[in-house]
Amino acid sequence: MSNELLKQEIERAMDNAPLQKALKNFTTAYPGNRARVYKGYDFEALREKVHEVKSYARDHLDEVMAEFIKNAEANGAHVFVAHSPEEAMDYALKLAKDNNVKLCVKSKSMASEEMHFNQNYEKAGITAQETDLGEFINSIAGDTPSHMVMPAIHYSKEDVADLFESYTKQPEEPVITKEVKTSRRVMRPKFLSAEMGVSGANVAVAETGTVITMTNEGNGRMVATLPKTHLYIFGIEKFVAKMSDIRYIFKVLPRNGTAQNITAYLSFYTGATKVVTDPENDTKEDKNFHMIILDTPERRKIMASEDYKDIFCCIRCAACLNVCPAFRLVGGHVYGGSIYTGGIGTLLTSFLNSRERGKDIQNICLQCGTCNTVCGGKLDIAGMILKLRTKFAQEDGLNPVHKFCLDTVADRHLFHSMLRIASVAQGMITKGQPMIRHLPMFLSGLTAGRSLPSVAPQPFRDILPTIKQDVPNPKGKIAIFTGCLLDFVYVDIATDVVKALNMAGYIVEMPLGQACCGAPATYMGDVENAKKAAEMNLNAMEAEKYDYIVSACPTCTHALRDYVDFFKDDPEMLKKAEALRSKTFDFCKLVSMLGGLPDTGDGVPMKVTYHDSCHLNRYLGVTKEQRELLKATKGVELIEMHDCDKCCGFGGSYSVKFPEMSAPILEEKINNIVASGADVVAVDCPGCLLQIRGGLDARGLNNIQVKHTAQIVVEKREKK
């Protein structure tokens, strides 16, 4: 798919008013509801245990699966291990034909979609009836799921009423309780007459040969208990070793999925049981109980990969979708494949269903890392998507325009020369103003909904030698890593970083050989240029000469610390990377480590609200230090805005590639800032500053200033 086609999908989703309303309502309510149901529970400890038990099953898969099959068969189940969706489908078709199945009722089986189960049964003259309400709605509409737990979230009650009217040929009111009754009325005779039930498993327990399913509607139990033949379909990723392992999963899954303490039904099936085949005479026979385990090469490939094996720790709770800012805008039809959706769906789609679809939708990920904080299996979803992006770039090559831009940035002398030229040539666009409010022709999208900063007349590297660093008896020496924005755009921030560290008793130097941190290349999958940047900066920064390395950009800080990943096989460069990692800290973290700043300030009241950048908060874990630094500044009143840690939509090149998605994320952030009543927004990321200041300027809200924390704490102390 071309980028243009993906953008058309995005545009249609964002123009879909019912979809937007449904997604906004659910994702707005979800965080608070989730927090309430976790009250009294240690989520971090729970998901650590989930990861532990799922990892054990993965790492001992053959042993665990053999034990499961032995115990399941001992209890009367027939187990078939399928090594391809086609093998699985052949078994399912033969099972139906051998038992003269005309109607099959289904519940909770995403794995069956990998087999194109419904379509293949229909071709064979067998009706495959979805009975989960959401899946039933989708089947009537000829649609695919838009969410892994709430597959029909994209339909309003009015839509459902229309669909039910077309299906039942009877009037239907758009009242949810009445629509539920209609679905029950339609389904009840199907449950009673179906010859086969098909289920999916949340968990399969090796110790007992038990399969377990969580449901809210009761249909899952009727699918499993009423028909004489019952077929379970699930993948090898659903195994755990012991029954005691499930307690962690079932404490997390409902709380994460739908913010419930527990689902209405938790059903355990251990082998064959009796089933009533003649209700009139209460005749009972042994149930024909079968299981298909999908043990496909694609699953084994995931399991064998150090980069992706943690996908097996996913419990399909879909919390990653519920908090994702991109999913909130477009839903799972855009951000997903035909089966699996959202961040984890991107990974599953890429490996299990469609590489090409996975390659397209991985671009939608902002890399904000919010998914990682709520994942029930403690997966690094964002990190795996980034590795996937890199994998696709290496296999298929980068977009030529993107590659040209990254090659330019990686050439330090060329890029810096271009920025110096731009600082002079920009006059015809800025007309002497500090902000660029309009760009011509094909660049116009960059200023849609926000203004851009102009390039500074002088880069910081030229200014630093003019700063008088009057530090009696200095405690040590710190190197500043400015990155691109602080060196060539926000020189005032870099200047205040130096002044703050002088106040803390340190001299600051700037190694002039430093270049871009490499994050733009990393986040676009260009390993070659990212590693080139790492080599340049490791040699330039000479970490061994300094007590600390300071950065006032969390993205740069994170990039510098991750240089160790590039040089696992190069002992000399690895030593340099480890030295840099051990000494590199973001501004607020470092100042806090150094004991803070003098407890002074001008005392003039300033209402400040704080925006947590994704990298500082979720990747570096710095949330308290900046707030303590602001509170210790006399005159500053810190007011927390709503959703202070939600992404602002910048995402580096994301706001350039997808301005149509970046803009509404920014809009929400600005609304929260305005609602806080603050005079100043404090940030610690130059990218967030660019995004938020540009958004405020474009809306004429210049009464609200946006400043880096370093600027606030220094300016208030200098005015005392």
pLDDT of 32 reads 95
Instruction: Identify whether the C-beta of residue 338 lies closer than 8 Å to the C-beta of residue 118.
Output: no
pLDDT of 442 reads 42
- Kindly report, residue by residue over 129-168, the tens digit of the pLDDT: 999 999 999 999 999 989 999 999 999 899 999 999 999 9
Q: How far apart are CA 350 and CA 684, in angstroms?
A: 35
Instruction: Identify whether the C-beta of residue 670 lies closer than 8 Å to the C-beta of residue 681.
Output: no
Residue 348 confidence class, pLDDT cut points 50, 70, 90: very high
The DSSP annotation for 116-160 comes to THHHHHHHTT-EEEE-SHHHHHHHHHT---SSSSSTTTT--HHHH
pLDDT at 279 over 90: no
Mean pLDDT for the stretch of residues 417-423: 70
Q: How far apart are CA 140 and CA 159, in angstroms?
A: 11
Under DSSP, is residue 636 helix (H, G, I), strand (E, B) or coil?
Answer: strand
Residue 637 pairs with which residues in a beta bridge?
607
Quick one: which of 386, 370, 375, 322 has its CA closest to 644?
Answer: 370
Q: How many Cα atoms within 13 Å fall on the side-chain side of residue 622?
A: 29
Q: Which two tokens stand for residue 282?
A: 């209460």
Q: How far apart are CA 680 and CA 592, in angstroms?
A: 22
Mean pLDDT for the stretch of residues 186-191: 94
Mean pLDDT for the stretch of residues 241-260: 96
Q: Does domain 60-131+195-309 have CATH number 3.40.640.10?
A: no
Mean pLDDT for the stretch of residues 369-381: 97
Q: How far apart are CA 554 and CA 558, in angstroms?
A: 6
Q: How far apart are CA 553 and CA 494, in angstroms?
A: 10
CA dihedral angle for residue 614, residue 617, residue 623, residue 627, rounded to 10 degrees: -20
Matching residue, tokens 């208990």:
225
Secondary structure (H, E, C), 369-391: CHHHHHCCCCCCHHHHHHHHHHH
pLDDT at 450 over 90: no
Q: How far apart are CA 159 and CA 19, in angstroms?
A: 11
| Torsion 632-636-637-641 (CA) sign | negative
- Kindly report, residue by residue over 235-247, the tens digit of the pLDDT: 999 999 999 999 9
Determine the angle formed by the axes of helices 659-676 and 686-698, rounding to 10 degrees.
80
Instruction: Identify whether the C-beta of residue 216 lies closer than 8 Å to the C-beta of residue 263.
Output: yes
Quick one: which of 482, 439, 443, 441 has its CA closest to 464?
Answer: 482
- Kindly report, residue by residue over 610-619, the tens digit of the pLDDT: 999 999 999 9
pLDDT of 248 reads 97
Mean pLDDT for the stretch of residues 351-360: 94
Instruction: Identify whether the C-beta of residue 26 lies closer than 8 Å to the C-beta of residue 258.
Output: no
Mean pLDDT for the stretch of residues 173-181: 94
pLDDT at 59 over 60: yes
Q: Which two tokens stand for residue 90?
A: 């052949």
Q: Distance of alpha carbon 64 from its chain centroid, rounded? A: 30
pLDDT of 428 reads 56
CA distance to 153, 270, 288, 659, per residue, from 283 (Å): 42, 22, 15, 65
Q: How far apart are CA 251 and CA 203, in angstroms?
A: 13
pLDDT at 217 over 70: yes
What letter represents residue 559's amino acid? A
Matching residue, tokens 């990393």:
522
Instruction: Identify whether the C-beta of residue 454 lies closer than 8 Å to the C-beta of residue 435.
Output: yes
pLDDT at 120 over 90: yes
pLDDT at 439 over 50: no
Of the listed ranges 81-95, 239-253, 451-465, 670-684, the least confidently predicted one is: 451-465
Q: How far apart are CA 215 and CA 304, in angstroms?
A: 32
What letter represents residue 701's amino acid? L
Matching residue, tokens 């990682």:
372
Residue 108 confidence class, pLDDT cut points 50, 70, 90: confident
Quick one: which of 376, 34, 457 has its CA closest to 202?
Answer: 376
Q: How far apart are CA 244 and CA 476, in angstroms?
A: 55
Q: Are strands 127-130 and 196-200 parallel, antiparallel or unpaired?
A: unpaired
Residue 403 pairs with which residues in a beta bridge?
none
Domain ranges of the chain: 1-40+318-396, 60-131+195-309, 132-191, 460-718
pLDDT at 119 over 80: yes
- Kindly report, residue by residue over 532-573, the tens digit of the pLDDT: 999 999 999 999 999 999 999 999 999 999 999 999 999 999
Q: How far apart are CA 609 and CA 614, in angstroms?
A: 16
Share of the chain above pLDDT 70, in %: 95
CA distance to 424, 427, 450, per residue, from 457 (Å): 7, 11, 22
Q: How far apart are CA 449 and CA 671, in angstroms?
A: 13
CA distance to 495, 556, 580, per residue, from 537 (Å): 21, 11, 10
CA dihedral angle for residue 288, residue 294, residue 295, residue 300, rounded to 10 degrees: -160
Secondary structure (H, E, C), 180-199: HHHHHHHHHHHHHHCCEEEE
What letter represents residue 554's amino acid? P
Q: How far apart are CA 555 and CA 709, in angstroms?
A: 16
Q: What are phi and psi of 233, to 5 degrees?
A: -125, 125
Reported in sequence order, the residue ranges of 220-357 that DSSP labels E, i.e. its strands, are: 229-235, 239-240, 265-270, 274-278, 283-286, 288-294
In 400-490, alpha helices (H)? 400-410, 412-425, 427-430, 460-463, 483-488
Neighbours of 416 (CB within 10 A): 17
Residues in the chain: 720
Instruction: Identify whether the C-beta of residue 637 lies closer than 8 Å to the C-beta of residue 606.
Output: yes
Output DSSP code: residue 456: P
Q: How far apart are CA 522 and CA 620, in angstroms?
A: 17
Q: How far apart are CA 589 and CA 629, in angstroms?
A: 10
CA distance to 109, 155, 198, 514, per residue, from 115 (Å): 11, 26, 13, 53
Q: How far apart are CA 488 and CA 578, in angstroms?
A: 28
Under DSSP, is residue 691 helix (H, G, I), strand (E, B) or coil?
Answer: helix
Q: How far apart are CA 354 and CA 359, in angstroms?
A: 9
Under DSSP, is residue 541 helix (H, G, I), strand (E, B) or coil?
Answer: helix
Average pLDDT in the chain: 92
The DSSP annotation for 335-370 comes to SB-SS-BHHHHHHHIIIII-HHHHHHHGGG-----H
Instruction: Identify whether the C-beta of residue 113 lies closer than 8 Å to the C-beta of residue 338.
Output: yes
Q: Which two tokens stand for residue 414?
A: 């060329």
pLDDT of 430 reads 56
Instruction: Identify whether the C-beta of residue 676 lies closer than 8 Å to the C-beta of residue 706.
Output: no
Residue 426 confidence class, pLDDT cut points 50, 70, 90: low
Under DSSP, is residue 175 helix (H, G, I), strand (E, B) or coil?
Answer: coil
pLDDT at 231 over 50: yes
What letter represents residue 710's amino acid? A
Assessment of whether the complete model's pTM goes beyond 0.85: yes
The DSSP annotation for 559-606 comes to HHHGGGGG-TT-HHHHHHHHHHHHHEEEHHHHHHHTT---S------E
- Kindly report, residue by residue over 284-310, the tens digit of the pLDDT: 888 999 999 999 999 999 999 999 999
